[in-house]
């Protein structure tokens, strides 16, 4: 237990996003499922509000809210191993993604598709879906989720531990399903995940999860803002989206090309893109060239391109920006997201140009990322997991800064940008023929705010689409007292 008089307390009050400083009565740093049970039991019987934290990358104050009295911190539970009994890899919830990638690869030569920011925690990440550079080839983290262990609280306050698996005859299967995209902080404390490919057979661990590519051909590309006209920008972003729409069906020849185009505000200097392709794929380097040429077609600026080939593990570190480096310490941030089925309209492209070139605003990391998606992700039927399917490009809006005095201007900029891009659907990406909605792991409380969501679609539908009522039923069964809640948590009944 860490209380305010403990030297560790102030450090624990802060996580990735320095906008939020927790002030609980105490933290429980837990090392085992038994300790989690004890910590939950103690808090419930004292009537204290609980929040759970794995690695603290939440975009909102779901863990650090002022009325949270007890924070159960799972960061000491970060073991990654192979469980012979369940014939699956076990990942404790406090493991950071970077450790997961590293240990699965080093010890067994396997991986799971997951995010590229190495400090993000398995606890929040996997339960919300988990996507990354391998998504087009391998799908989402949850597509490999075999089982999950959760500490839950019954309607009489009894605390117990339950394991829920994807086996069709598992009576707890709905709880497993809810952890395939329902998001953290909803049903109980996730202590462990077990991962195995759905189609895997045998007992050799090396065959139970996919292998990553051995090496990647990488292109780091930058376009100087100073040289780009509006026409160039619109053409470039339009080309990017058109290419993704044409090359993102599972099994298509170029589905192995991954790219993330980071459209930074002009004051940052450049637009940037990371692209890569498995080095051993047919015509890998040549196809990457063709992709780069298609992207720049009709753009009046020649980008700077840096090419290299790297072993997969080293290459996977490349995308860990802006999380790594000195600028990541004491970072304040606000994030938003929209998952696209179709390209932006000309009007949307112009709107984005206008906001990215606003003279009354400056920011060193104020950006929309356009991230190649689709492929294998969209081979899973919509209701098979809780996370919606069908998007081809993910957009991730992120603004970061350091000085609390600048909170208002950065938050206003990202809100106005997002609202204007989605102005034809009430300022939000309403699930329709153009969008699948927003991504629950990019928590954004504005979706529940009538000032910023003027559509008739409530935030749960934006995150979960048609899966929300089923998630509510799981919530009602497994957390009937709504012990685990936050601003955007699943409500037990329709509200
Ligand atoms: C810089 C950055 C980069 C990112 N990159 C990616 C990416 O590439 N791909 C991607 O898919 N996502 C990405 N994300 C989103 C990330 O997956 C989510 O923010 C995720 O929820 C973080 O998990 P955490 O455990 O670190 O966060 P926390 O702040 O610890 O938790 C987030 C939420 O989950 C709950 N929670 C955490 N642990 C548990 C648990 N053990 N049991 C029950 N509930 C729990 C918390 O209560 C909270 O509501 C990124 C986020 C950031 C800030």
Give yes or no: residues 5 and 46 share one domain.
yes
- pTM of the complete model: 0.97
Minimum CA distance residue for ligand 1 atom 45: 184
Residue 310 lies in a domain: yes
Provide mean pLDDT across the span 436-449: 98
What percent of the chain is modeled with pLDDT above 90? 94
Provide mean pLDDT across the span 258-273: 96
401-405-408-413 Cα dihedral, nearest 10 degrees: -40
Which pLDDT band holds residue 326 (cuts at 50, 70, 90)?
low
Q: Quick check: CB of 320 below 6 Å from ligand 1?
A: no
Residue 430 lies in a domain: yes
Q: Strands of 270-278's sheet, edge to edge?
A: 304-311, 215-224, 270-278, 258-264, 365-372, 393-401, 332-340, 435-437
Give yes or no: residues 260 and 402 share one domain.
yes
Q: How far is ligand 1, taken at its centre, from the CA of residue 81, in Å?
A: 21
Write out the residue range of the structural domain in which residue 294 sits: 215-466
Of the listed ranges 81-85, 313-317, 423-427, the one predicted with least confidence: 313-317
Position in ligand 1 atom list of the atom nearest CA 190: 42
Closest to 359 measured CA to CA, from 266, 231, 234, 223: 266
Minimum CA distance residue for ligand 1 atom 13: 115
Q: Quick check: CB of 63 below 6 Å from ligand 1?
A: yes
Q: Strands of 88-92's sheet, edge to edge?
A: 80-83, 88-92, 189-195, 145-153, 159-165
Give yes or no: residues 230 and 201 share one domain.
no
pLDDT at 30 exceeding the cut of 80? yes
For residue 375, give the DSSP letter. B
Residue from 72, 123, 398 whose mutation best tests the ligand 1 pocket (most atoms within 8 A of CB): 123
Of the listed ranges 99-103, 116-120, 485-489, the one predicted with least confidence: 116-120
Residue pair 192/490 in contact by the 8 Å Cβ criterion: no
pLDDT at 492 exceeding the cut of 90? no
The bridge status of strand 26-29 relative to strand 70-73 is parallel
- What's the CATH number where 334 sits? 3.40.462.20
- What's the CATH number where 71 sits? 3.30.465.10
Q: Which of 212, 230, 262 is the last residue of a domain?
A: 212
DSSP 3-state of 278 = strand
Q: How far is ligand 1, taken at its centre, from the CA of residue 315, in Å?
A: 22
Give yes or no: residues 390 and 343 share one domain.
yes
Give yes or no: residues 397 and 425 share one domain.
yes
Q: How far is ligand 1, taken at its centre, from the CA of residue 96, in Å?
A: 10
130: left (phi over 0), alpha (psi -120 to 50) or beta: left
Give pLDDT tens digits for 165-187: 999 999 999 999 999 999 999 99
490-183-164-144 Cα dihedral, nearest 10 degrees: 150
Give yes or no: residues 9 and 135 share one domain.
yes
Position in ligand 1 atom list of the atom nearest CA 323: 1
Residue from 17, 90, 97, 120 whose mutation best tests the ligand 1 pocket (most atoms within 8 A of CB): 120
Q: Residue 320: its pLDDT value, please?
A: 65
pLDDT at 325 exceeding the cut of 60? no
d(CA 263, CA 352): 9
Q: Quick check: CB of 53 below 6 Å from ligand 1?
A: yes
Q: How far is ligand 1, taken at its centre, from the CA of residue 466, in Å?
A: 23
Give yes or no: residues 201 and 233 share one domain.
no
Q: Hey, how many other C-beta atoms are within 10 angstroms of the C-beta on 231? A: 12
Residues forming a β-bridge with 260: 274, 371
Q: Quick check: CB of 190 below 6 Å from ligand 1?
A: yes
Provide mean pLDDT across the span 446-468: 98
Q: Quick check: CB of 123 below 6 Å from ligand 1?
A: yes
Residue 249 lies in a domain: yes
Q: Residue 324: its pLDDT value, please?
A: 52
Residue 268 sits at φ, ψ, to 5 deg, of -80, -15
12: left (phi over 0), alpha (psi -120 to 50) or beta: alpha
Residue 441 lies in a domain: yes
Residues forming a β-bridge with 69: none
Residue 97 lies in a domain: yes
Q: Quick check: CB of 238 below 6 Å from ligand 1?
A: no
Closest to 387 measured CA to CA, from 136, 206, 143: 143
Give yes or no: residues 56 and 87 share one domain.
yes
For residue 211, give the DSSP letter. P
Q: How far is ligand 1, taken at its centre, from the CA of residue 281, in Å?
A: 32
Structure tokens, 286:
């040549």
Position in ligand 1 atom list of the atom nearest CA 15: 29
Q: How far is ligand 1, taken at its centre, from the CA of residue 228, in Å?
A: 35
Residue 495 lies in a domain: no
Q: Hey, how many other C-beta atoms are within 10 angstroms of the C-beta on 255? A: 17
Give yes or no: residues 153 and 8 share one domain.
yes
Name residues whose C-beta falls within 8 Å of residue 345's C-beta, 6 or more positions apart in sequence. none
For residue 238, give the DSSP letter. H
Give yes or no: residues 339 and 255 share one domain.
yes
Can you say how many angstroms the Cα of residue 141 is from the centroid of all Cα atoms in its chain? Answer: 10
Position in ligand 1 atom list of the atom nearest CA 129: 11
Q: Quick check: CB of 62 below 6 Å from ligand 1?
A: yes
Q: How far is ligand 1, taken at its centre, from the CA of residue 204, in Å?
A: 30
Residue 493 lies in a domain: no
Q: What angle do CA 64, 69, 70 make, to 5 degrees?
A: 85
What are the helix and strand counts (H, E) for the chain?
A: 13, 16
Q: How far is ligand 1, taken at its centre, from the CA of residue 92, in Å?
A: 14
Q: Residue 495: its pLDDT value, please?
A: 44
Structural domain tally of the chain? Answer: 2
Q: How far is ligand 1, taken at its centre, from the CA of residue 14, in Å?
A: 15
Residue pair 55/94 in contact by the 8 Å Cβ criterion: yes
Residue from 12, 58, 180 whose mutation best tests the ligand 1 pocket (most atoms within 8 A of CB): 58
Q: Residue 316: its pLDDT value, please?
A: 81
How many Cα atoms sit within 13 Å of 349 on the Cβ side?
Answer: 19
Q: How far is ligand 1, taken at its centre, from the CA of residue 336, in Å?
A: 14
Q: What is the mean pLDDT of the chain?
A: 96
Residue 492 lies in a domain: no
Q: Quick check: CB of 16 below 6 Å from ligand 1?
A: yes
Q: How far is ligand 1, taken at its centre, from the CA of residue 183, in Å?
A: 8
Name residues whose C-beta falls within 8 Å of residue 24's C-beta, 6 or more positions apart in sequence. 13, 51, 68, 69, 70, 71
Q: Quick check: CB of 93 below 6 Å from ligand 1?
A: yes
Provide mean pLDDT across the span 109-135: 96
Residue pair 74/92 in contact by the 8 Å Cβ criterion: yes
Position in ligand 1 atom list of the atom nearest CA 131: 11
Structure tokens, 369:
């990322």
Give yes or no: residues 102 and 127 share one domain.
yes
Q: Quick check: CB of 56 below 6 Å from ligand 1?
A: yes
Q: Residue 329: its pLDDT value, please?
A: 75
Q: Buried (b) or exposed (e) across 31-54, using 16+ Cβ within 10 A?
A: eebebbbebbbbbbeeeebbbbbb
Q: Which of 212, 232, 258 is the last residue of a domain?
A: 212
Q: Which of 212, 231, 259 is the last residue of a domain?
A: 212
Provide mean pLDDT across the span 365-377: 97
Q: Residue 323: its pLDDT value, please?
A: 54
d(CA 130, CA 449): 26
Minimum CA distance residue for ligand 1 atom 51: 57
Position in ligand 1 atom list of the atom nearest CA 183: 34
Give yes or no: residues 106 and 224 share one domain.
no
């Amino acid at each position: 237990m860490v209380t305010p008089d403990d030297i560790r307390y102030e450090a624990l009050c802060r996580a990735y996003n320095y906008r939020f400083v927790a002030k609980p009565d105490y933290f429980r740093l837990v090392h085992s499922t038994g300790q989690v049970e004890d910590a939950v039991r103690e808090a419930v019987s004292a009537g204290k509000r609980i929040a759970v934290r794995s690695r603290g990358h939440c975009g909102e104050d779901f863990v650090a809210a002022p009325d949270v009295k007890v924070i159960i911190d799972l960061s000491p539970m970060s073991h990654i191993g192979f469980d012979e009994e369940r014939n699956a890899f076990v990942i404790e919830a406090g493991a950071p993604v970077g450790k997961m990638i590293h240990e699965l690869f080093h010890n067994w030569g396997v991986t799971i598709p997951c995010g590229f920011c190495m400090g993000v925690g398995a606890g929040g990440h996997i339960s919300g879906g988990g996507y990354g550079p391998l998504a087009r080839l391998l799908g989402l983290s949850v597509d490999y989720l075999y089982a999950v262990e959760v500490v839950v609280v019954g309607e009489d306050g009894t605390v117990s531990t339950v394991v829920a698996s994807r086996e069709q005859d598992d009576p707890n299967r709905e709880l497993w399903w809810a952890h395939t995209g329902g998001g953290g902080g909803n049903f109980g404390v996730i202590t462990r995940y077990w991962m195995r490919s759905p189609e895997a057979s045998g007992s050799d661990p090396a065959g139970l999860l996919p292998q990553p590519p051995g090496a990647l051909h990488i292109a780091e590309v930058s376009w100087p803002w100073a040289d780009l006209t509006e026409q160039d920008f619109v053409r470039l972003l339009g080309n990017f989206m058109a290419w993704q729409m044409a090359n993102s069906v599972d099994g298509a020849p170029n589905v192995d090309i991954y790219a993330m185009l980071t459209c930074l505000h002009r004051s940052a200097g450049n637009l940037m893109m990371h692209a890569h392709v498995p080095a051993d794929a047919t015509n890998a380097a040549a196809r990457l060239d063709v992709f780069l040429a298609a992207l720049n077609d009709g753009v009046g600026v020649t980008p700077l391109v840096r090419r290299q080939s790297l072993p997969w593990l080293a290459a996977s570190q490349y995308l860990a920006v802006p999380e790594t480096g000195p600028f990541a310490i004491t970072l304040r941030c606000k994030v938003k997201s929209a998952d696209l089925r179709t390209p932006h309209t000309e009007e949307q492209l112009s709107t984005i140009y206008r906001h990215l070139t606003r003279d009354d605003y400056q920011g060193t990391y104020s950006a929309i990322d356009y991230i190649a998606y689709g492929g294998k992700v969209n081979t899973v039927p919509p209701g098979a997991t809780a996370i919606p399917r069908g998007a081809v490009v993910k957009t991730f809006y992120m603004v970061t800064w350091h000085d609390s005095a600048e909170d208002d201007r950065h938050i206003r900029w990202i809100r106005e940008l997002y609202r204007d891009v989605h102005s034809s659907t009430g300022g939000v990406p309403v699930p329709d023929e153009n969008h699948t909605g927003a991504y629950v792991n990019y928590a954004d409380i504005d979706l529940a705010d009538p000032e910023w969501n003027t559509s008739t679609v409530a935030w749960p539908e934006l995150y979960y689409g048609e899966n929300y009522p089923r998630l509510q039923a799981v919530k009602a069964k497994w957390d009937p007292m709504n012990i685990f809640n936050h601003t955007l948590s699943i409500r037990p009944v329709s509200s």
